[in-house]
Amino acid sequence: MIIWGSTGKEKTIDRPDFYCPECRSEVSGKHIGVYRYFTLYFIPLFSLEKHGEYVKCDHCEGSFNVSILDLTADEIEAALEPWKCEGCGNTNPPGKDRCLGCGEHHE
């Protein structure tokens, strides 16, 4: 009996430098792709498809969405800082794009 199957495997695609939101500094990391491998007797033969990908920081081991590679340090810092609404003066948590006080959209 021949045993076919598939398994998930991770592969380092690239070793980019990026700004890590956890370390709050420029770090070296790994761009990792998760592939599905076709196996024969549990031995991975070839990759079937890319399942997903992520970026991992070498320092804190945190995993991040690959879109972080397109962001500058300033953009990432801005996303981490609380911001003050110009309309009502309310201080809003990072990541919110609408003011919790007045609902005003934040650029």
Residues in contact with Zn ion by CB under 5 A are 20, 22-23, 57, 59-60, 62, 85, 87-88, 90, 99, 101-102, 104
Nearer to Zn ion, 1 or 67 (CB): 67
3-state DSSP percent of the chain in helix, strand and coil, to 5: 10, 50, 35
Nearer to Zn ion, 45 or 102 (CB): 102
Least distance between Zn ion and beta carbon 55 (Å): 10
Least distance between Zn ion and beta carbon 24 (Å): 8
**φ and ψ at residue 68, rounded to 5 degrees:** -65, -25
Q: How far apart are CA 42 and CA 4, in angstroms?
A: 8
Least distance between Zn ion and beta carbon 25 (Å): 8
Tell me the sheet residues that pair with 63.
56
Nearer to Zn ion, 48 or 102 (CB): 102
